[in-house]
Homo-oligomer: A and B are copies of this chain.
Amino acid sequence: MTKETIQDIHVEKAASTRINEVDFNNLTFGSVFTDHMFECDFKDGEWKNPTVKPYQPLTLDPSARVFHYGQAVFEGMKAYRDDNDETWLFRPDENFNRINKSCARLAMPEFPESYFFDGLKTLLDLDKDWIKKGFGNSLYIRPFVIATQSGVMASPANAYKFIIICSPAQSYYGGEVRVKIADHYSRAASGGFGYAKAAGNYAGQFYPTNLAKEEGFQQVIWTDANTHEYLEEAGTMNIFFRINDKLVTCPISDCILDGVTRKSVIDMAKDMGIEVEVRPIKVKEVIEAAENDSLKEIFGSGTAAVITPILGFGYKGDKWELPKLDSPYASQIKNKIMEIQYNKAEDKFGWRYKL
């Protein structure tokens, strides 16, 4: 996959680099940013002034709509450097399409494809030294769009900023993860915007997650808001269940983010000869499988960690631990996907995108 035509991206270079201040062996996810950022303004009905410039604060009126009405969407993707110093993205078209789906649902203007890719290329080219070699190292890329128009009226803004910031990341280990299956709180309404990567889908999860933490869990697996009988997804991961040798994950709906890693896991697992079922999964089924030992693994999929194994889960006060396997699907599939991401294996799905 390649894209041509670098459009008229305006470039302002930083006078100096901050890269020497950064300890690349000791990175906290999402806390250090590269020297530059990409910014583009929506005004008078069109996106204009695509600019790469030094990473810098935003100046916004206190009445800017993003602060009051939550018109804000984002994406999360990564750049990888291979042993030959070439830089790769992983399925960036998926992120591009998804941010525009998110925008549409929040009545925000869609972003032009050429600006997205040309902005990314120009930015990552300037900041390429921040993308470190080594399996597991990457540059986390955060495109986002916010409503900047001032005025406290609850209606769609007519001015926005599309921004890309980048943060170097190491192999992500989020610690041991046990999850609580939600039985009261919920993440998304059917007919709502749970499928959008919208800022408003995240803050609401923090309080119930804090409650789960008090019970010894690190994350929540959300269930349908209506009955709490069906499993949906975790805060920033889609969820897979291995029952005997079959992988099961729930279908995409308007409540669930259509994860890029999720669809890659499905394709990769099938390619590895693993049976995959995409269908609604009841909490009850997972508990029964845990009780009769047919539940072998649960794992989450997402850009940050690729795959996060889940060691145990709780539901309404009861807790279950998962078995420790020698060669779990989680690590097999994670490795296969990472080999594609880092250009260490043939890219038979056409997922790699050379910058």
Contact = CB atoms under 8 A, between A and B. Distances in A.
Interface of A: 28-31, 33, 37, 55-64, 66-72, 74, 76, 104-107, 140, 142, 144, 146-147, 150-156, 163, 165, 167, 182, 184-193, 198-207, 209-210, 225-226, 228, 235-236
A156 B68 contact: no
Contacts of A206: 69, 71, 106-107, 155-156
11 contacts: A30-B152, A57-B59, A57-B61, A58-B59, A59-B59, A66-B72, A70-B198, A71-B203, A189-B192, A198-B200, A200-B201
* Nearest 4 A/B pairs, CB to CB: A200-B200, A70-B199, A189-B189, A186-B191
B105 A204 contact: yes
A170 to B, nearest CB: 14
B200 A153 contact: no
A106 B192 contact: no
Given A154-B236, A186-B190, A198-B200, A70 B68 contact: no
Of A57, A191, A198, A202, chain B has the most CB atoms within 10 Å of the CB of: A191
B225 A63 contact: no
Contacts of A69: 199, 202-203, 206
A255 to B, nearest CB: 8
Contacts of A204: 70, 105-106, 192-193, 198, 200
A315 B193 CA distance: 21
Contacts of A142: 63, 68, 152
Contact of A187 (B31, B105, B163, B192): B192
Nearest to A188: B189
A119 to B, nearest CB: 14
Contacts of A236: 154
Nearest to A184: B191
A235 B200 CA distance: 16
Given A106-B204, A191-B228, 5 more contacts: A70-B202, A76-B152, A106-B203, A147-B203, A154-B202
B203 A163 contact: no
Contact of A70 (B31, B63, B150, B200): B200
Contacts of A188: 189, 192
Contacts of A67: 58, 66, 72, 74, 144, 146, 199
Contact of A225 (B153, B154, B189): B189
A281 to B, nearest CB: 19
Contact of A185 (B37, B57, B191, B209): B191
A42 to B, nearest CB: 15
A191 B199 contact: no
Contacts of A165: 62-63, 152
Nearest to A103: B207
A29 to B, nearest CB: 6
A165 B207 CA distance: 27
